[in-house]
Structure formats: structure tokens, C-alpha cells
Amino acid sequence: MASTEPVVRVDDLRVAFPTMDGDVQAVNGLSFEVPAGGALGIVGESGSGKSVTSLALMGLHRGSRAKITGAIEVAGQNVVTATDKQLRAMRGNDIAMVFQDPMQSLHPQYTIGNQLVEAYRVHHPKASKSVALKRAVEALDRVGIPQPEKRINSYPHEFSGGMRQRVVIAMGLMCDPKVLLADEPTTALDVTVQARILDLLDELRRDLGMALILVSHDLAVVAGSVDEVVVMRHGVAVERGDVRTVLSEPEHPYTRALLAAVPRVEVSRAQRRAQDRADRVEKEQRAGTVTDPARFEAFTPVPTDGEPLLQVEDVAQRFKVRGGAMGRSTDFWAVNGVSFDLYKGETLGIVGESGSGKSTLSRMVMRLLEPTRGRVVFEGRDITHMSERALRPLRRDVQMVFQNPYSSLNPRVTVGDAIGTALRVQGERDTKKIKREVQELLDRVGLQPGHYNRFPHAFSGGQRQRIAIARALILKPKLIICDEPVSALDVSTQDQVLRLLSELQDDFGLTYIFVAHDLAVVRQVSDRVAVMRKGEVVELGDSDSIYENPQSEYTRQLLAAAPLLDPDEARSQRAEREALRAQAV
């Protein structure tokens, strides 16, 4: 810690929101300090109060019904008692904020130059436009936007997500703030872009001597970038300390549990499965229901074991994109020439960044989309162009778990009906039987049979995903396609859902296609992995060899960008990345 006087001081902060059911205490007695030029990470799962805290730091709860007590001091200014004018002078000048979604934090109707100049002239009303413009170009250059003199006249939609986040950061830099507050700055971005933005923030902090407050739900994101970390839960800091100490010797059980739940890219599928099975046996022994480990099916299925369950041959999906010249549509190949075989009992991981075509591919296998080209063969039957009616009996065998448990369950249908629909659609008429089966399944996925009549909104994200899994399971399918099943969930919930999927695979001999962008998660659940980029498979092979000995350049880039939990390793990886980039230039 360099300086003596902290630039941000929060003491016993409490934020409460009045609601119909009484006050909700979003933050409950939080204290921390950030020295000038220091870096603090605030980590917590959704609902822990971390975003509320960052808004409070900016004084952005003014005008809302939030009740704030305690002290917040930013650069000597008391945020809680400051007048609106003082607050405005502080925002942007002393403390600048970078928001989560760069698609929404820039105004779509103004050029970025306009917005940057505006940000400067708000605090320097006497500055001439040319001075402000010069600063804007400098700031863009600083954050690594190529050709800033030209790009300054572009509109936000002309930039990619990562570039937009750079522009937002540049805007934050316009007035040389003492503190940069980044609230989940990389959550909406791909892994490789995330690594670059984090590298940029780290570089800026070191070069400009700004303090950095990095808010994230992901311990691995903050690990390499901060000195000190606060772990929040239910509005309280459960642990606070040096990042190395907290991550290597966590004191609070919650931090320990959180750390244990973070998927690690170095853990292999075999290790993970062995651990899950051991944990399960131990847990069941404690509960008194002993399961024989021998009952689990063979570890890795033999790929040559008879016919593949699913054959995908050279499939492609074309979308017409409007807005070509003269209103003509142009072709966009979301997936192009992908082939793979899938054998019973194995899990194929499909990993790739957004826009790589992984969701389109899974929807083609599911036949929610009809492939433009190629063949999909399930159990020897060509389903590529089968009609919806002919597909209906086959729908029993292939099921899907969707990404967003909030939108994959109909909010107006009770949980029991949502799961039972599958049986009803497939022709089952006996309502008592349906109810019994649904309740059994609810029990199996870790919910209570009594939840039958509840509506989805009464459940947390993890519970909803369990419901979605139960719905996929009720038809006793052979293949389940999981499309980003855990990416909308908190780490600890994510871990539980992954365990459930693994247990179900053991119990029912399920075959999975597991689609995700998180490299670590994919490794832990997949026997084989396909890496996708721009609609094509760059690399396909068994997961350990892909992760330990990647053949393609793109896979190597992805792996280098994966955030690491160990602060020192993360830092050395960052140094490597920077060296590589310097070489490239």
C-alpha cells in the first residue's frame, strides 16, 4: 500500500430499500479503504450488495428511496452528506465508473468523440473544444483504440463489444480521476476480450496512478488485478484482506466454499468425476442410503463401441441478413461444415466465444432449426429434414436444457405443469400418474415434491435450472443437449448443477452435448471437446489433450485468456500475454 491517506473510505455503510414486505437491507455494515493508486476487488454472488455499494460510492442513490447511513468518502468528499452540486463535481472528476454492459452505457445517437468531449467539458466548462478533442484522442489512444483521430467520429454501433468497453474506459479517463470504479466490466464480454480489458485496467492503474475498484462475481477475474479483496455476502463483508492471503488461506467458510466452487481449468474430467462420485458416496453414507460405487457405469466409454448414438455430418446453417446493398439480403453462415460422432454415455463439450455458432449447432441437432446443408443422424435414422409431426415420437430421446432458467420456464405455468407438459404432449392422459412422476423427479433433482403447484418466480436461478433439468429428464431421453446450462448462475449454484448433471449421467447412462463458453467448466464435464470459432470447429479431440496440448493457435489463445485463481500465476500469465502482444506489434 503506497500512500498513507486513503482515497476511498467506506465506514459502516448501510443501504436499505423500503419495499412492500418491509425494508430490504442490501448493504449491512460494510467498511473498506482504498489507498491512492491501490486496487480493491469486491466479490460476491448476485444479491450480495456489491452493485448497490458501487452505486452508493458514486452517490447514484440520490433521488431513489434508498436509505443510506454510514460514511462514504471519495477523495475527501463525503458522499452521503454532499450537495447535489458537489456530487456532480465529484462524479467523473474524482471517481469515474465503468458499467457492465458497454452496449448500453454509450449513447447510440452521438459519436464517441461527442460523448468524450462532453465528459471533459462538464468539468472544464472553460476548456475550448479543440483542447477537449485533443484529450479525447489521447484517451482513446491510451485505451488502445487504433487510429483514434479517425475513430473519434464513429458511432458506438461501429465498435465491437470489447472496443466499446475501451471507449467507456476512455470516457472515464477524460478528467484524470483518482479512482476508477469498474462494476462487472467484463461480464458481458468474451474470454479473450475480457483478458484484454483486465490487462488494460491493470496497465492504466500502474501508469496513471489511479486507484481501481473492481467489482465482480468471479473471484478469478479479480485475482490477478487487485491487491486487496472484499468478499461480500448478503450485504456483509464476510472476509477482507490481501488477495493472496484470502485466496490461499481463506478464513471464512463462505470464502472457502466459494473458492471450492470455482471451476478450475487445470482439473481434468476424470479428477472431477472421481471427486463428485466420492463426495456423493460420502454424502449418501451420511444420509444412510449407501450406493455401491461399482454401480456407476464405466469411466470413459469406448468410442468404438458399436454405432454412434448421433452422427453429425458436415452440417451448415445459413441465415439471411437484411441490410445489404439495395435492401438485398446477404447470406450469413452461422455454422459451416461441422461433423462429429457422439457415442452413448459420453459427453461432448462444445466451447467457443459468442457468435461462434455453438447455440445454432445445438439447435440443429435438436432439430429446432433445419440444417441448410449436411445430415443429422440419430440412432441410424436421418432426422435432418424430418417433419415436425414425424419428429414428435423422437423428441422423447433428445432433450435440451436451456441457458437462461428465467426465460426457459413459462412464468404463467406452475412448475408441475411445466414438467408434466412433456408427458401430456407425448400422449399421457392419466393425470395422477403424471403428477406422481413429476413429484418423483422433483425429488430426484433436489427439490421438494411440494413445489409442484408453485410458479417459477418463487425459485432462485439454480432451482429453476433444476426444474428445467427435470423437464428434460421426464421423457427419459438418451441425449441431453445442455446449452450454456450454468452460465447464468452464481459459482456455488453452478457447481451444484454440474454435480447434479454428473450424478444423473451416472444413474441414467445419459449422453450429453455440453455447450459453454467457460473453458474450465467444459473441461470438467467433457470427455471430448470441440472448439468452435466463426461457425467452424477449429479443434476436436479428447478433453485432456486439447487442454494440455492444444494444436490450434485459437485454442491456445483461449486458454491463455482464461482467468486464473492464483494471483501470482494470473500475473505471470498477464505478463506473457503482454509480451506476446508487444511481439505482435
Q: Which of residues 334-363 bind another protein (CB under 8 A)?
A: 363
214, 299, 279: which is closest to 8 by C-alpha? 214
Of 166 and 451, the one with the shorter C-beta distance to another protein is 451
Q: What 3-state class would DSSP assign to 249?
A: coil
Of 121 and 466, the one with the shorter C-beta distance to another protein is 466
Q: Tell which one of 80, 236, 377, 475 touches another protein (CB under 8 A).
A: 475
Residues in 514-543 that interact with another protein by CB under 8 A: none
The DSSP code for 263 is -
Residues in 251-280 that interact with another protein by CB under 8 A: 253-254, 257-258, 260-264, 266-267, 271-272, 274-275, 279
Interaction between residue 422 and another protein (CB under 8 A): yes
Q: Tell which one of 81, 453, 549, 583 touches another protein (CB under 8 A).
A: 453
535, 532, 573: which is closest to 554 by C-alpha? 532
Interaction between residue 568 and another protein (CB under 8 A): no
Q: Which three cell numbers stand for residue 493?
A: 449454484
Pick the stretch among 70-78, 150-158, 290-298, 486-494 that binds another protein (CB under 8 A).
486-494
> What distance in Å separates the CA atoms of residue 215 and residue 39, rounded to the nearest whole number?
11
CA distances from 222 to 95, 119, 286 (A): 19, 27, 36
Number of shown-chain residues binding another protein (CB under 8 A)? 78
Q: Counting every residue, how long is the chain?
A: 585
Interaction between residue 216 and another protein (CB under 8 A): no
Of 45 and 353, the one with the shorter C-beta distance to another protein is 45
3-state helix, strand, coil in the chain (%, to 5): 40, 25, 35
Of 39 and 262, the one with the shorter C-beta distance to another protein is 262
Q: Tell which one of 21, 130, 328, 380 touches another protein (CB under 8 A).
A: 21
Interaction between residue 160 and another protein (CB under 8 A): no
Interaction between residue 289 and another protein (CB under 8 A): no
Identify any residues that bridge with 183 across adjacent strands, giving them in sequence order: 215
Block residue for cell numbers 452413448: 344
Of 172 and 461, the one with the shorter C-beta distance to another protein is 461
Of 57 and 472, the one with the shorter C-beta distance to another protein is 472
Residues in 365-404 that interact with another protein by CB under 8 A: 366, 368, 391-393, 395-396, 398-400, 402-404
Q: What 3-state class would DSSP assign to 373?
A: strand
CB of 426 to another protein, least distance (A): 6
CB of 260 to another protein, least distance (A): 5
Interaction between residue 493 and another protein (CB under 8 A): yes
> What distance in Å separates the CA atoms of residue 66 and residue 56, rounded to the nearest whole number?
10
> What distance in Å separates the CA atoms of residue 136 and residue 148, rounded to the nearest whole number?
9
Interaction between residue 431 and another protein (CB under 8 A): no
Pick the stretch among 161-169, 343-351, 489-497, 541-549 that binds another protein (CB under 8 A).
489-497
| 3-state SS record for 91-115 | ECCCEEEECCCCCCCCCCCCCHHHH
B/e letters for 530-558, b = 16+ CB within 10 Å, e = fewer, are bbbbebbbbbbbebbebbeebeeebbebb
